[in-house]
Amino acid sequence: MRKILILNGPNLNMLGTREPEIYGRATLDDIKTLCEQKAKALDMQVDFRQSNHEGTLVDWIQEAAKGRIFDGLIINAAAYTHTSIAIHDALRLLSVPIIEVHLSNPKKREKFRRFSYVGLVTKHVIAGHKEKGYEMALEKIWSLLSR
């Protein structure tokens, strides 16, 4: 069974109450459940994590690179998408497909959100589909791994 690591960055633990007009009303727990159900349907397993701390996200990526126990990574680095060279560099350690996902579409938001350090190392970006984007990311990972 394929194992997929799903990492979520800062403030995503506040989903459902944080700017629902931008991010939707689904909570992070709702998204986790959605991902677990989608993964099961695709005969995959997910390890779903969230941290507000850049270093923790880097540690998890490094663990994934060292342990080689994951077949793919989905990451919503949130605000770190636009600022974190450290996350960018950690992602470069991975040899598995990486999908960047965003609930909103950063390209249609403030100018400072339009550049992604994460996107420089991912295979695909899914943005603007709210929680459905996570399902789409799992489908994309599945298709990349099925080739």
Expressed in percent and rounded to 5, the helix, strand and coil fractions of the chain are 50, 20, 35
Of 80, 88, 102, 117, the active-site residue reads: 102
State how far the Cα of 31 lies from the Cα of 128, in Å rounded to an integer: 15
Tokens, residue 127? 């943005």
- The H or E element containing residue 20 is helix 20-23
Is 124 part of the annotated catalytic residue set? no
Q: What are φ and ψ of residue 117, in 5° steps?
A: -65, -35
Give Rg (Cα) of the chain: 14
Of 23, 80, 117, 134, the active-site residue reads: 23
The residues near 107 (Cβ < 8 Å, ≥ 6 apart) are 113, 114, 127
- The H or E element containing residue 38 is helix 28-41
Is 23 part of the annotated catalytic residue set? yes
State how far the Cα of 141 lies from the Cα of 35, in Å rounded to an integer: 12
User: Which residues have a catalytic role annotated?
Assistant: 23, 102
